[in-house]
Amino acid sequence: MERLADHRILITGAASGIARATTLRLLAEGAHVVAADITADRLAETRALAGKDGTAGRLALVEVDIADETSANAAVASAVKTLGGLDALVNAAAIMRGAHTHECSLEVWNRVIGVNLTGTFLMTRAALPALLDSDKGVVVNFSSTAAFYAHPFMAAYSASKGGIFSFTHSIAQEYSKQGLRAVNVVPGGISSNITDNIGELIPADTDWDLFLKLSPALPGGIPGPEKVAGVVAMLVSEDGSFISGSEIRVDGGAHQ
């Protein structure tokens, strides 16, 4: 199925995890994609996987530090030039640093907010003119179940994702009359770089009983990132054209 055959898409965080899986899914559905990340060697791995799928001819790469204004502006400009315009921006890049909140340094707090929330703002701000020139412009932002439900030891991460939730609603309303859509994807209990390495990202003395409510209710355990990739593909396609200013939670019923 090539429902994205005429779509030009920029996605951040594409060197790994959910964003990499989403990049491959968008390409599989016919999109022309610019994959952005701060890690050049892992971006090359994403290209290699696309090569195995026979879709690398529609993939371009760009290095970006989304928390840096100059870098974000340059990456968006490069993507728009490469693609000849822009129909969708997928802000999937994120970091997580855990700590007991009373021990969380200002440096860690600012870094998480800077990448996750400010980075989403910078990329969106730079992309908006091109998206508004499209007749199907859409911003897909990645919030998290951590924005709505208690995720211990993740105060900075939760705050950043709550900010993304509100930011998405704001731009969805602000640009609605110009035809722009903005949607939050809310993953939870999905295999990703963050969830796979959670033990290294939170305190060593973590009380794991506090996480019991975060497991998927559906059988099969923690699924792969492809579960989220399919949702993003729908949202940027015509199938998602009446969805804006809202959320789609992908967590296997963990937060019913």
Q: Take residue 199 and report the two structure tokens written for it.
A: 């033990």
59: phi then psi, degrees, rounded to nearest 5: -120, 130
Q: Is 175 a catalytic residue?
A: no
**Best CA proximity match to 243, nearest among 167, 152, 140, 111:** 140
Handedness of CA 107, 113, 118, 120 (dihedral sign): positive
- Give the integer Cα–Cα distance in Å for 149 and 142: 15
Give the 3-state secondary structure of residue 123.
helix
Q: Pick the catalytic residue: 157, 165, 167, 175?
A: 157
First to last CA, the chain: 32
| Cβ atoms of residues 220 and 184 within 8 Å | no
Concatenated DSSP letters of 222-252 = SPPTHHHHHHHHHHHSGGGTT--SEEEEEST
- Give the integer Cα–Cα distance in Å for 182 and 214: 26
Q: What's the angle, vertex CA 122, arms to CA 173 and CA 251, rounded to 5?
A: 65
Give the 3-state secondary structure of residue 143.
coil
> Which of the residues are catalytic?
157
